Amino acid sequence: MAKAKPRVKVPSKAKAGEIITIKTLINHKMESGFRKDKKSGELIPQQIINKFTAEFNGKPVFSADVRPAVSANPYFQFKVKVSESGTFKFTWVDDDGSTYSTEKKIKVEG
C-alpha cells in the first residue's frame, strides 16, 4: 500500500480552558477483506487503519479502534479542553503494522 497521508486541523492558538475542535483525515482505501479482485477472483486481503490515537503533551486525549466497516479515508472530529501550550501527536496504525503520525502545536494564552 502506498504511504497514507494524514491531514489534521488544530487551531494555532486558544485561550486557557477553551474547548477546541480537532479534525483529522487520513487518505487510505480501507480494504475490508470481503471484495474480490476482478481479474483473479481472489479475495483482496484486509488492509485497514485499525487504531487512531491523539495525545496532548504526551497524555492521551482521544482514541478509536477502527473496524472494516469504516469507509475509505477515515475522518475523526473531536473536542479537547486546553489549558496550556503544547503539541498534539496523532497516530494511525495499519493492519500491516505501519504507523502514520503527525504533530501540531497550539499556543494557549491567558
Q: CATH no. for residue 47?
A: 2.60.40.10
Cβ proximity of 63 and 32 under 8 Å = no
Residue with cell 494557549: 108
Cell digits of residue 62: 482521544
Count of the separate structural domains present in the chain: 1
Quote the cell numbers at residue 46: 484486509
Domain range for 43 is 5-109
For residue range 22-40, list pLDDT tens digits in order. Answer: 999 999 988 888 889 999 9
Q: What pLDDT is stored for residue 46 in this prediction?
A: 84
pTM of the predicted structure, to 2 decimals: 0.88
